[in-house]
Amino acid sequence: MDRTDQIILEQIEDKTVSGEKLSKLTGISRVAVWKRIKKLEDLGYRIKHSSEGYRLIERTPYLLPVEIKRALKTGYIGKNYIFFDQIDSTNMYAKSNDLPDGTVVLAENQTKGKGRKGRRWISSKGKGLYFSIVIKRNYPLNDLMKLSLLFPYAVKEAIKDYLENQIKIKWPNDLYINNRKFAGFLIETEIEGNEINRIIAGIGININNEPEEFGDIKDTATSLKIEEGKTFCRKELFCRVLETIEKSLDKFSSLDLTDEIEKDLLWKGENIRILDEGIEGRLIGLDRSGGLKVLTEKGVLTVYSGDISVR
Ligand code: BTN
């Protein structure tokens, strides 16, 4: 979308404006104005055509840069915003390009959305939020676990007030409602010596997805719409999420993340199993670095990786 499209949009936002006036204001012919109106409609804007001219009825549901720029109130996260209608994976794109700190790459649809441990992430067009954030800062390697907990924590904080249901955090970094997963995080890092110097935080949040989109995982996957019974404004949630991630990153060193997460930890106090590790026991909480404390027959063990399930 160029400056001329933006002028047309601004003009017709709150009034009907004739093709002739738009042509004069933009310096293009009336036919060219009409073509641009058609292009805006293809981008999802709803525009009323009448004998008096054109008027915007509804903005596009797609998360186009022009839409995000006017709604986002952050200092650096998303200031460089890269939008794709379709891509293989936003994480793959962010990893293979040298993008500045705070860059957000979002796709309306991913054909090879990546999950943890080689799993896939179903990314139906226009239904969820599928994006990656590039953080190019140095953190001590010891902070890795806590950093990967920061993203689910911030997403939970950003959206919890929009929901009736309670959000739970499944260690290490999934978000659940009613025992089903609606958001996943793929945190990929670049490490040099004892320092993390780049983080690609890939975030998938199922917002308005329908049960049939989840196919064979529909018993374990869910969306905000399925759980809350209503449709959400993705743009609003996306902006709140980016703003909360920025605030949480800014206070990372003083944030008592493990305490905060423990309050909403899924299966706390219950008997769990750590798959692949053969560990079973009662989930008692997190240690200071974000590891999972499990009371087993051999005493308290702290685990730093793995997938958990209830026994
Ligand atoms: C998981 O739960 O296994 C992690 C899922 C992460 C999915 C997101 S969607 C945006 C970003 N791009 C990807 O290919 N994956 C992440």
Residue of minimum CA distance from atom 2 in ligand 1: 184
- Average pLDDT for runs of 10 along the chain of length 311: 94 97 97 97 97 97 95 97 97 98 98 94 94 97 93 98 98 95 97 96 97 91 98 98 98 92 96 89 94 95 91 73
Q: Which amino acid is at 126?
A: G
| pLDDT at 275 (0 to 100) | 83
Between the CA of 245 and the centroid of ligand 1 the distance, in Å, is 17
Between the CA of 46 and the centroid of ligand 1 the distance, in Å, is 31
Mutational pocket test of ligand 1: of 203, 220, 234, 241, the residue with most ligand atoms within 8 Å of the beta carbon:
203
| pLDDT at 291 (0 to 100) | 93
| 1 burial level (CB within 10 Å; 0-12, 13-18, 19+) | middle
Residue of minimum CA distance from atom 3 in ligand 1: 115
Locate the ligand 1 atom nearest the alpha carbon of residue 90 and give its number: 12
Distance CA 305, CA 311 (A): 18
- For the domain bounded by 3-58, which CATH number is listed? 1.10.10.10
| 5 burial level (CB within 10 Å; 0-12, 13-18, 19+) | middle
Between the CA of 114 and the centroid of ligand 1 the distance, in Å, is 5
Q: Are strands 139-140 and 168-170 parallel, antiparallel or unpaired?
A: unpaired
Distance CA 106, CA 87 (A): 9
Residues with CB under 6 A from ligand 1: 89-91, 110, 113-116, 119, 121, 130-132, 174, 184-186, 202-204
| pLDDT at 280 (0 to 100) | 94
Per CATH, is 65-263 categorized as 3.30.930.10? yes
Residue of minimum CA distance from atom 7 in ligand 1: 204
pTM score, two decimals? 0.93
Residue of minimum CA distance from atom 11 in ligand 1: 202
Phi-psi region of 171 (alpha: psi -120 to 50; beta: other; left: phi over 0): beta
Closest by CA position to 300, among listed 311, 291, 309: 291
ipTM for the predicted complex: 0.99
Distance CA 219, CA 51 (A): 52
Locate the ligand 1 atom nearest the alpha carbon of residue 114 and give its number: 14
Q: Which two tokens stand for residue 151?
A: 């993203």
| pLDDT at 158 (0 to 100) | 98
Between the CA of 90 and the centroid of ligand 1 the distance, in Å, is 8
Per CATH, is 271-310 categorized as 3.90.79.10? no
Locate the ligand 1 atom nearest the alpha carbon of residue 174 and give its number: 2
Concatenated DSSP letters for 119-132? -B----TTTSEEEE
Sequence ranges of the domains in the chain? 3-58, 65-263, 271-310
Q: Yes or no: say if 183 and 266 are a contact pair by the CB < 8 Å rule.
A: no
